[in-house]
Amino acid sequence: MGSKSAPSYPTTTVSTGGLFGSSTTNAGGTDFTPTDFQKNLIGVTENNAIKALNNYLNPDYESEDYKRGDEYYTNKMNTMLQNDYLNPALQRNLLRGSTASDIMRGFGQDLADNEYARQNEYRDQQLQNYMAAMLPYTTIYDMSKGTQGLSQSLANSVGNYNMAKYQADKQGSSGLGAALGAIGSIGGAVLGGPVGSAIGSQIGKIGSNVVNRYIV
């Protein structure tokens, strides 16, 4: 009877019940399959992020988004003209001749300064929109990383068990009991953060029957 060949690296698949996607690990690497929700969220995120980044780098001050603030700034400047220029001038009987020109010149400068500040505020808002749009992107990345970690950990555990069992059988010893201990902790991957913790909670649902399915 010929000797049995050493076991190859196992192929394992971990599913998270449709919550965080699924992951398959084999000798060629690990492949992550996202859920429809994850794919849709990435699509929306990319559209929003690209739009916000473009608005930040190339602000359009004629856009509808920018013009929505016109009423606020018009009221603000009207109030400034009334309270800071016209009323004080009227109270001092100065609203005539060169004094009136000086008043309007000062108001014009304030108007320009406020418009400049307004444009900067608009650009800052676009940057905030971009940063907010990228948050779901990193969340999906964390989900995929955690799910891949589970299938990799499972594959390593099964591979270690198969190799230990192969060595024990080859030596003809009673070391099978020790070999059984080599299966280790299936969920040994470090899954930091709340997303990792949520994914890690699925480990208990995998159970020993999943491990046995891959044992040679």
Provide DSSP, 93-150: T--SHHHHHHHHHHHHHHHHHHHHHHHHHHHHHHHHHHHHHHHHHHHHHHHHHHHHHH
Residue 42 CA from chain centroid, whole number: 9
Run of H or E residues at 31? strand 29-33
Look at 67 and 54; give whichever has higher pLDDT: 54
60, part of any domain: yes
Residue 129 pLDDT more than 60? yes
| pLDDT of amino acid 151 | 93
CA gap 192, 146 in Å, rounded = 8
4, part of any domain: no
CA gap 150, 16 in Å, rounded = 10
| pLDDT of amino acid 95 | 60
pTM summary value: 0.55
pLDDT in tens, 165-203: 888 888 764 444 444 444 444 444 445 555 555 555 554
8, part of any domain: no
25, part of any domain: yes
Domain count within the chain: 1
10, part of any domain: no
Three-class secondary structure of residue 185 per DSSP: coil
2, part of any domain: no
